[in-house]
Every structure is written in structure tokens, then in C-alpha cells.
Amino acid sequence: MSITEPPAPAPGPRSQDGDAAAEQLRDRISADSLTTRRDYLRIVATVSGGLAAGGVGVAAGILHRHGDSTSMPEPKKVADQLMPGESVAFRYPGDEDRALAVRLSDGSLVGYSAVCTHLACAVLWREDRGADGELYCPCHEGVFDARTGEVTAGPPPRPLPRIFLTEQADGSVWAIATARSGESAQEALCRQLGGARPETARRLGCPGADRAASTERKAAPTERGAT
């Protein structure tokens, strides 16, 4: 097991060039547990492209913290580097929210809340359990799949909430957003987008987004004319 202390918090990477940051986000963000990798990349591409010059910071602004809070999480650096077989414990999105990032043996980055969904004990990663290791809660022998966060043994009733990670060109690993337990990336985006960005919501396939996007397109010339 390899759990290290997180580095000191650093400002989010908000100043990168939009196209480059969007490309990095598209290529490097970890796959969501309940969405296929292809669908996930399509979602990330839609969001990062649709928002133009935002990259990591913008994506984080859309996918705000899990739970029902309406506050927006800042991107947070959780490791200068994370090699296969390593993990890091950190706090995200708030200072009290325990979280865990793991680099699996095939290079995939995964991130989860480290608060057990049973009775909130701390979840640890055990590297020596199978190809991907496992996420383990010692309180009542709860076990979660390290690749998906799904419950594989013990009393936890729900998967671990997912934390979205991205890796920057210098190898640093950042937490940028979260989803609720069992919530896909698309569901998380659609829920949190609400009516704020109808065109982006339409591209993501959010329910009811077609009508809202159409309304926005019709209103756009009028709004431009008024400025």
C-alpha cells in the first residue's frame, strides 16, 4: 500500500491556453466509473470545447462539488506526480472531505471520496489485492472496486462518490470535480448545468436541453442587437 501525504495546496491552472488545456483535459482526465471511456471522452470534449478558453478551471466550475452544495470547487493539486502502484490521500472539495487518488497498474488515474458509504470510516487502497488492488474499509470489512468504486464486499450500500482527476503536462495530478455516489459524468454535468448553458447541455444529451438550446438560439440575435 502506498499512501502519501498530499502536497501543499496550490492555485488552480486557470491561466493555460484554452485549446491546449482543453486538449489536455480531453486526453488525460480519468474515466468515470459508470460511463464508458468513449462516452466519457465525448462528454469531456463537448464541455471543454463548448466552453472555449477554460480548460481545467472551466470544467471544474461546471462540475461543482458533490452532495447538494451549490458552491464551486477550485481545482486542487493533489500530487506532483503519481506513478503506477501509488496513491495519495487528500481533501477535496472541502478541507474536511477525505479523498483518495490512485494510479492503477495500467496507468489509469482514479479518484474517490475516501469516506465509506456505510458508516463513514476512512477508506484505504490496498495495492496487493488483484491487478488493480482494492479500496478497503477496515471498520466492517467493506470493499470497493478500485477501477469503478462499486461495492464488491461487505455492508456499504452504495459505490464511492467519484472524484474527477486530470494530469497536467508536468505530471502533476489535480482534482477538478466530483459526482454523487453512482452518478455518471453525464448525469453530474446535466444536473449541475441546469439551465445555465443550454447549448452545452444539448451537446451532452441532457434531458430537455434541445428545447432550451433552441430558445437560446432564437434569443441570441435579439440579445446581440441590444448590445
Per CB under 6 A, residues contacting ligand FES are 116, 118-119, 121, 137, 139-140, 142, 154-156
Distance CA(207)–CA(195), nearest Å, equals 11
- Rg of the chain over all Cα atoms, to the nearest angstrom: 18
Q: Which residue, 74 or 150, has its beta carbon nearer to ligand FES? A: 150
Tell me how far the alpha carbon of residue 206 is from its chain's centroid.
Answer: 18
Residue nearest to ligand FES as judged by C-beta position: 142
At 17, is the secondary structure helix, strand, or coil?
coil
Q: Which residues of 119-130 are buried (b: 16+ CB within 10 A; e: fewer)?
A: eebebbbebeee
Q: How far apart are CB 140 and ligand FES at their closest, in Å?
A: 3
Q: Which residue, 18 or 155, has its beta carbon nearer to ligand FES? A: 155
Q: Which residue, 41 or 121, has its beta carbon nearer to ligand FES? A: 121
Q: Which residue, 119 or 219, has its beta carbon nearer to ligand FES? A: 119
Distance CA(21)–CA(168), nearest Å, equals 9
Q: Which residue, 125 or 174, has its beta carbon nearer to ligand FES? A: 125
Q: How far apart are CB 143 and ligand FES at their closest, in Å?
A: 9
Q: How far apart are CB 160 and ligand FES at their closest, in Å?
A: 10
Q: How many helices (H) and strands (E) does the chain have?
A: 6, 11
The answer to whether residues 23 and 17 touch, using CB atoms and an 8 Å cutoff, is no
Q: How far apart are CB 139 and ligand FES at their closest, in Å?
A: 4
Q: How far apart are CB 219 and ligand FES at their closest, in Å?
A: 50
